Amino acid sequence: MLTGSLVALVTPMDVNGEIDFPTLRKLVDWHIEQGTNGIVAVGTTGESPTVDVEEHIAIVRAVVEQAAGRVPVIAGTGANSTREAIHLSNKALEVGASFGLSVVPYYNKPTQNGLYQHFKSIAENTALPTLLYNVPGRTACDLSNETALKLAELPNIVGIKDATGNLERAAELVKNAPKNFAIYSGDDASTLPFILIGGHGTISVTANIAPKAMSEMCAAAAAGNIAKARAINDTLQGVHRHLFIEANPIPVKWALEKMGKIQAGIRLPLTRLSENAQPTLLTAMNEAGIH
């Protein structure tokens, strides 16, 4: 089972919004050097809503090629169209992804039965192992624990990213899920307690700018070294919070730009971090020793 800190990787772009593949490859190398345990390519943090299918698969291919087997690559394969999600899953498998991360369908608000049938259809029509992704704050649709646990019984549904930030729900998943079903936090601020109650790791936005710290914090928490894990997490609390001062990935792309890691590119309808928000995030970065 894949454990630890998995980065929800941004998609670097130039000032015109074109994908910057050389920088993408450099980010992959940097994350591996810093101890990141897995890389999520073209998830929602990677601006999946604004890249077309050809770009989407090209990004996954580039990340797989650059990772070269050093860490697993999880491809964002979600869509609010079941057919599109299946297509993306099969294409990601073709270019070498190890897993797919499939978000709860957004906007069309299916019933729990619709969600079950959606993910069941994906599982039955691709050989790519699939992780569920529940983020009701962004999708306007909540995958219930009951439905998630029912899906966990399917052979090709292998885990879930739970971005609810609700530790009571997480504890229920940990208690009742099959032993080999991976449960990841999708909320950086609650990742530490999430792991301490039995979660297997995190799919993290913070790891974009603090990969070593997130990896070490997850490892310490999993090993039961609460003092070390808490000390690391304490330095990151401001970053966890203020990376969402505007809609993700606006703040994290600005932070990476300030660090000299990427160019100032982002696609509409997202825009560069507002000037009023920049000092707040910069202060949090400085407090965490991120430069």
Write out pLDDT tens, residues 109-146. 999 999 999 999 999 999 999 999 999 999 999 999 99
pLDDT tens digits, one per residue of 79-106: 999 999 999 999 999 999 999 999 999 9
Q: Which residue in 26, 91, 120, 133 is the catalytic one? A: 133
Task: Identify which of 74, 143, 73 has the alpha carbon closest to the alpha carbon of residue 115.
Answer: 143
Instruction: Give the C-alpha separation, 241 to 281, whole Å.
Output: 9
Q: Which residue in 161, 184, 253, 258 is the catalytic one? A: 161
- Phi and psi angles of residue 240, each rounded to the nearest 5 degrees, phi first: -50, -45
**pLDDT reported for residue 97:** 98
Provide the pLDDT confidence category of residue 1 given band limits of 50, 70 and 90: confident
**Can you give the pTM of this predicted structure?**
0.96
Tokens read off for 255: 């932070």
Instruction: Catalogue the E-assigned strands of the chain.
Output: 4-8, 38-41, 73-76, 99-103, 130-134, 157-162, 182-185, 201-204
Q: Per CATH, which fold does 4-234 belong to?
A: TIM Barrel (3.20.20)
Tokens read off for 87: 């297509």
Task: Write down the domain spans for the chain.
Answer: 4-234
Provide the pLDDT confidence category of residue 234 given band limits of 50, 70 and 90: very high
CB environment 274-283: b (16+ within 10 A), e (fewer): eeeebeebbe
**pLDDT reported for residue 75:** 98
Q: Terminus-to-terminus CA distance in the chain, angstroms? A: 33
**pLDDT reported for residue 182:** 98
133 noted as active-site residue:
yes
184 noted as active-site residue:
no
Share of the chain above pLDDT 70, in %: 100
**pLDDT reported for residue 246:** 98
Instruction: Give the C-alpha separation, 29 to 22, whole Å.
Output: 11
Instruction: Give the C-alpha separation, 22 to 70, whole Å.
Output: 18
Radius of gyration of the chain (CA): 18
pLDDT tens digits, one per residue of 48-66: 999 999 999 999 999 999 9
The dihedral region occupied by 111, where left means phi > 0, alpha psi between -120 and 50, and beta the remainder, is beta
